[in-house]
């Protein structure tokens, strides 16, 4: 006896198309935060940037490894733009 439920062969593609607008929105909002942090924290010590960066990512429901947060904080301290993007 079947359940009457079938998953479309292209389910993953359909799901990706469905969530992409929301992901684009999050990426755009995160970009504003990262740009603002670069402007505000350029030249500041990395140790000062790390907790702020972790807090901002947590606000978006995300987290970063220690290696990633150090890399991003270094870029921000050096005034280097970090670009967000959706996709691989």
Count of the separate structural domains present in the chain: 1
**Residue 45 domain boundaries:** 5-83
Domain assignment of residue 69, yes or no: yes
- Compute how many other C-beta atoms are within 10 angstroms of the C-beta atom of residue 80: 11
Cα 28 to Cα 23: distance, rounded to the nearest angstrom: 9
Whether residue 88 lies inside any domain: the answer is no
Sequence-distant (6+) residues with CB within 8 A of 73 are: 46, 49, 50, 53
Question: What tens digit of pLDDT does each residue of 4-38 get?
Answer: 778 888 988 888 888 898 989 999 999 999 999 99
When pLDDT is cut at 50, 70 and 90, the band that residue 2 belongs to is low
User: 16 lies in a domain?
Assistant: yes
The per-residue pLDDT for range 48-85, each reduced to its tens digit, is: 999 999 999 999 898 899 999 999 999 999 999 999 98
* Closest by Cα among 73, 71, 40 to 55: 73
């Amino acid at each position: 006896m079947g359940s009457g439920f079938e998953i479309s062969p292209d389910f993953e593609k359909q799901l990706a198309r469905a969530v992409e607008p929301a992901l684009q929105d999050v990426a755009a909002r995160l970009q504003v935060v990262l740009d603002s942090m670069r402007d505000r924290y350029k030249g500041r010590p990395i140790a000062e940037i790390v907790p702020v960066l972790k807090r901002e990512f947590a606000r978006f429901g995300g987290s970063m490894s220690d290696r990633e947060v150090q890399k991003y904080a270094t870029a921000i301290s050096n005034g280097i733009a970090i670009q967000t993007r959706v996709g691989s």
